Structure 1
Amino acid sequence: MSGIQFKNVSKLYQQGENQVLALDDVSLTVEQGEFIAVIGPSGSGKSTFLAIAGALLQSSEGEVILNGKNLNQLNPKDLARLRLEEIGFILQTSNLVPYLNVLEQLLVVKKMAGKVTKEDKKFAKDLLENLGLAAKLKKFPDQLSGGERQRTAIARAFINNPSIILADEPTASLDSKRAHEVVQLIAKETKTRNKAAIMVTHDERMLEYCDKVYRMEDGRLKHDNSFKHENSKRLSTIG
């Protein structure tokens, strides 16, 4: 299947003589074109969940399937390639390279995957234009607003045309107006480019842009139906 699937995934950590169950039998499917949110208190397992989805951690039990590939069966080299080519990360802070301009922030990712072609440059410019950054291509991070830096990070996450987008508290450093703009852009790009997207957030104001909301508590993941009506109304306005 396309997208990402968790099948009865658990994660155990050893702390001295004790074992800590960070994820407890999590099952979830996120299909292409679907944008889901995971909410929950600090220490509930959200970060572990996202790290496993991003092939940064391996589960103790269960399977994680990304585009038909079982992540537990891949060697470190293949996992590194998969992270580069099939997963786009959007983090709490933009983590832009200070000495690269906006266009170069995207092209450096293409260089990591191989050489940069004319098609790559056109795709990068189109992405940035779609995100309202056409006039900022030659600007450096310190010449951008917080919202512009985060929009650049969104474009960078999409530059390798990945299968899945993982957003970790993408609005944490933004004011309310910019936060709404950023999450609406993630939702729009997810739909337009037919990606599977997962956002971990504490900001419940952003849930209106998501197709589904899940709540993480003590390592267990449950579907939260309370946002369904409001979300479907909001999603119909994104285009």
Structure 2
Amino acid sequence: MSKGLHMREVTMYYAEGNNQITALDHVSISVEPGEFVAVVGPSGSGKSTFLSIAGAMLKASEGDIQLNGNHISKLTEKELSNIRLHEVGFIMQSSNLVPYLNVLDQLLVVKRMAGTIKKEDKVFAIKLLEELGLGLKLKSFPEELSGGEKQRTAIARSLMNNPNIILADEPTASLDTKRAHEVVSLIAQEVKSRQKAAIMVTHDERMLEYCDRVYRMYDGGLSLAES
């Protein structure tokens, strides 16, 4: 079984009136466990569509997507929902934390969505948060956290179900330079130590030093950037 994320000749069309818009144009990429790659490109180049397809939120018009050995283009909606819950960890532009949950419960709610919360889940959540420097913030609510702390909570939450794929969508958009470096270096560190396949979509060229490879996206096409 092929681990990681493998997309081959993936194309996405949208109908707009009588026209057919190509959002993704024969995109191919492979990301193995322990690899952290970046995708950069201007607004409207197809990055959001690419990430939605990679994360099993959107079905491609053509092509093959393997996510940790699952050919996701052949799965039902229920199976895709299961894949999103157990195989993919998402880190969004803004941390997307639930306002009325404290830091520890932000992680435990992921387990509740997947079933029940066991004692070992709580132990794992606390260990994750301590690793990411949030050990003293377990009972804090989002409004009491700095921007960097919110994003670190979001990183911990993305790892809570021990997924095989991490997808980060502009994770530094709301952070200053120092916090941005902290957050992306933390993502890179977790990807390496936990052997996750990870893709970060970003406009922030300063963050590319943490990535193993950089791809550029233009008009729905994806190509490896020259180093």
Does residue 122 of structure 2 align to residue 124 of structure 1? no
Q: Which amino acid aligns with 1:166?
A: L
1:152-211: CA deviations, max 9, x gaps? 000000000001000000000011100000000000000010000000000000000000
Measure how far apart 1:225 and its partner are: 2.5
One-letter identity of the residue aligned with 2:177:
S
Is structure 2 residue 23 aligned with structure 1 residue 22? yes
- In structure 2, list runs of 5 or more residues that go unmatched: none
Match of 1:172 in 2: 173
In 1, Cα distance between the equivalents of 2:107 and 2:191? 18
TM-superposed deviation, 1:23: 0.6
Give the root-mean-square deviation of aligned CA atoms: 0.6
**Which residue of the partner structure matches residue 3 of structure 1?**
4
The answer to whether structure 1 residue 104 and structure 2 residue 102 are counterparts is: no
Runs of 4+ residues over 6 Å off in structure 1:
none
**Which residue of 2 is the match for residue 204 of structure 1?**
205
Q: Map of 1:1-239 to 2, 5 A cutoff?
A: 1-226=2-227
Q: Secondary structure at the match of 1:14?
A: strand
Aligned residues: 226
C-alpha distance after superposition, 1:18-75 (max 9, x if no partner): 0111111111100000000000011111111000001111111101001111111100
Identical columns (%): 67
Which residue of structure 2 lines up, in the alignment, with residue 233 of structure 1?
none
2-structure distance, mates of 1:95, 1:164: 19
Cα distance in 2 for partners of 1:140, 1:70 equals 39
1:110, 1:95 → 2: CA distance? 17
1:117 is displaced (CA, Å) by 1.0
Alignment partners' CA distance in 2, 1:87 and 1:185: 18
The residue matched to 1:43 in structure 2 has which SS?
coil
- Which deviations, in whole Å up to 9, do the C-alpha atoms of 1:190-236 show, x marking residues without a partner? 0010000000000000000000000001111000132xxxxxxxxxx
What is the distance in 1 between the residues matched to 2:208 and 2:14? Answer: 30
Q: Aligned equivalents of 1:167 and 1:152: distance in 2?
A: 13
Provide the rounded CA distance (Å) in 2 between the counterparts of 1:212 and 1:33: 12
